[in-house]
């Protein structure tokens, strides 16, 4: 006798979200959290992206695509004799916790790019753009996998398949994807190369071998940013008119997010031997210098009011976190108040004048820092 299973039966046995969550690690749960400060997963209008026309930047585009096709970092993301075995439990508790948070956040950011680029390649019809996103998805997949291998070494790997299905996705218009992802890639380069150069001078502060891989790693980030610079430059409208206000918004949002998030990891930065304020300003200045290739303006990083705005945002974030931890009605009211205060502070920072920039004749830069 055949036992047929009806769709109702299947639905009855479909695991609930709670049942699925019960089977994932704490690091996967951490990667699933979506807040204003955590890396997000994005989706966009793929038909609109098919309209990208690269002829205005053809010469530079072909050189970049040839470089990506050659895959210069093909063999880089493999462990070798430079990978020192460490006991993560030997690290101070606060450093261990913040380092794991750094790895999980970095993995989520890399994997977010991988998922977005892969989806662009799968759903797009513009062959040149699909080729680009195929190369970038390949790179981001390697990065995420390399970080996850480091986490698995400590028995705390992230279930990336589950993460791709369960993480909340945020819709961004294509032009917002270009601005945000360009900045993400370039500030990622600036962060990694600044840490790498610091640890070259202070190898005693290199408390984990993954930092040895940062130079070639950040070169991938740099190349990805170059691609988005060319996409932005391929359509002058993306650098003109009202879009200047969006560029300013994303510059400020990305910088403020980094500043607040870095100050949430004091032990991590102390372990590296870096002052958070000094490190962040170095990264901001390098990112601003690089972004002149396609942005018509940069933030005035010499303005004391901007510095105070960053510091005020960090203080407000501490109060938001305290209110959230408190819970209850009073906690919700306090969280709402301080969240509104953060919005007001952002508006005040947005009102600070920027510095204009003349877009250069060519875009391509080399990672020489």
331 and 211 together in one domain: no
State whether residue 42 is helix, strand or coil.
Answer: strand
313 and 246 together in one domain: no
* CATH number of the structural domain spanning residue 195: 1.10.620.20
Do the Cβ atoms of 357 and 295 come closer than 8 Å? yes
280 and 334 together in one domain: no
Do the Cβ atoms of 210 and 150 come closer than 8 Å? yes
pLDDT digits (tens, 9 = 90+) for 227-257: 999 999 999 999 999 999 999 999 999 999 9
- Number of independent structural domains in the chain: 2
150 and 257 together in one domain: yes
pTM given for the model: 0.89
Q: What is the pLDDT of residue 33?
A: 54
| Residue 10 located in a structural domain | no
Confidence of residue 92 (pLDDT cuts 50, 70, 90): very high
Question: Of 275, 299, 323, which one is at a domain's C-terminal end?
Answer: 299
Output the CA torsion 9→12→13→18 (10° steps): 170
Residue 352: domain span: 300-362
154 and 275 together in one domain: yes
Question: Of 246, 281, 299, which one is at a domain's C-terminal end?
Answer: 299
Query: Mean pLDDT, the chain, as a whole number?
Result: 89
Q: What is the pLDDT of residue 37?
A: 52
| Residue 314 located in a structural domain | yes
| Residue 17 located in a structural domain | no
Distance CA 79, CA 149 (A): 10
| Residue 13 located in a structural domain | no
With 60 as the cut, is the pLDDT of residue 14 above it?
no
Q: What is the pLDDT of residue 79?
A: 87
204 and 341 together in one domain: no
338 and 350 together in one domain: yes
96 and 240 together in one domain: yes
Cβ neighbours of residue 125 closer than 8 Å, sequence gap 6 or more: 50
210 and 325 together in one domain: no
| Residue 1 located in a structural domain | no
pLDDT digits (tens, 9 = 90+) for 203-233: 999 999 999 999 989 999 999 999 999 999 9
45 and 98 together in one domain: yes
pLDDT digits (tens, 9 = 90+) for 149-158: 999 988 888 8
Confidence of residue 337 (pLDDT cuts 50, 70, 90): very high
State whether residue 340 is helix, strand or coil.
Answer: helix
Mean pLDDT is lowest, of 69-78, 284-293, 310-319, for 69-78
Q: Is 130 exposed, middle or buried (0-12, 13-18, 19+ CB in 10 A)?
A: middle
Confidence of residue 12 (pLDDT cuts 50, 70, 90): very low
Distance CA 65, CA 132 (A): 7
| Residue 33 located in a structural domain | yes
Question: Of 261, 277, 299, which one is at a domain's C-terminal end?
Answer: 299
| Residue 288 located in a structural domain | yes
Q: Could you tell me which residues are beta bridge partners of residue 171?
A: 43
| Residue 18 located in a structural domain | no
Closest CA to 357 of 298, 307, 302, 279: 298
Distance CA 359, CA 296 (A): 6
349 and 215 together in one domain: no
285 and 357 together in one domain: no
DSSP letter for each residue of 272-336: HT--HHHHHHHHHHHHHHHHTTT-SEE--TT-HHHHHHHHHHHHHHHHHHHHHHH-HHHHHHHHH
Packing angle, helices 58-70 and 214-233, rounded to 10:
150
């Amino acid at each position: 006798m055949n036992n047929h299973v009806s769709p109702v039966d299947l639905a009855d046995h479909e695991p609930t979200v709670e049942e699925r969550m019960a089977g994932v690690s704490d690091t996967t749960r951490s990667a699933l959290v979506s807040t204003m400060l955590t890396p997000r997963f994005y989706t966009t209008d793929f038909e609109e992206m098919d309209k990208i026309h690269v002829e205005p930047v053809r010469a530079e585009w072909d050189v970049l695509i040839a470089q990506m096709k050659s895959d210069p970092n093909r063999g880089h993301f493999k462990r070798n004799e430079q990978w020192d075995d460490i006991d993560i439990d030997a690290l101070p508790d606060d450093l261990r916790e913040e380092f794991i948070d750094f790895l999980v956040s970095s993995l989520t950011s890399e994997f977010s790019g991988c998922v977005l680029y892969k989806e662009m390649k799968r759903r797009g019809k513009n062959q040149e753009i699909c080729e680009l996103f195929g190369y970038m998805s390949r790179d981001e997949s390697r990065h995420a996998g390399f970080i996850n291998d480091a986490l698995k070494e400590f028995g705390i790997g992230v279930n990336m398949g589950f993460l791709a299905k369960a993480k909340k996705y945020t819709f961004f218009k294509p032009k917002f994807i270009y601005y945000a992802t360009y900045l993400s890639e370039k500030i990622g380069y600036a962060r990694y190369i600044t840490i790498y150069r610091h640890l070259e001078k202070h190898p005693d502060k290199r408390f984990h071998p993954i930092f040895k891989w940062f130079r070639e790693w950040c070169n991938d980030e740099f190349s990805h940013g170059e691609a988005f610079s060319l996409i932005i430059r391929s359509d002058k409208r993306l650098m003109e008119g009202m879009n200047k206000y969006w560029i300013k918004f994303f510059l400020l949002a990305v910088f403020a997010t980094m500043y607040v998030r870095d100050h949430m990891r004091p032990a991590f930065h102390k372990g590296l031997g870096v002052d958070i304020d000094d490190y962040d300003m170095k990264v901001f200045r390098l990112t601003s210098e690089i972004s002149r290739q396609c942005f018509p303006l940069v933030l005035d990083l010499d303005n004391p009011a901007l510095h105070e705005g960053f510091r005020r945002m960090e203080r407000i974030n501490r109060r938001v976190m305290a209110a959230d931890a408190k819970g209850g009605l009073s906690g919700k009211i306090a969280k709402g108040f301080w969240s509104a205060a953060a919005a007001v502070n952002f508006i005040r920072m947005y009102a600070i004048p920027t510095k204009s920039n003349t877009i250069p004749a060519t875009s391509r830069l080399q990672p020489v820092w």
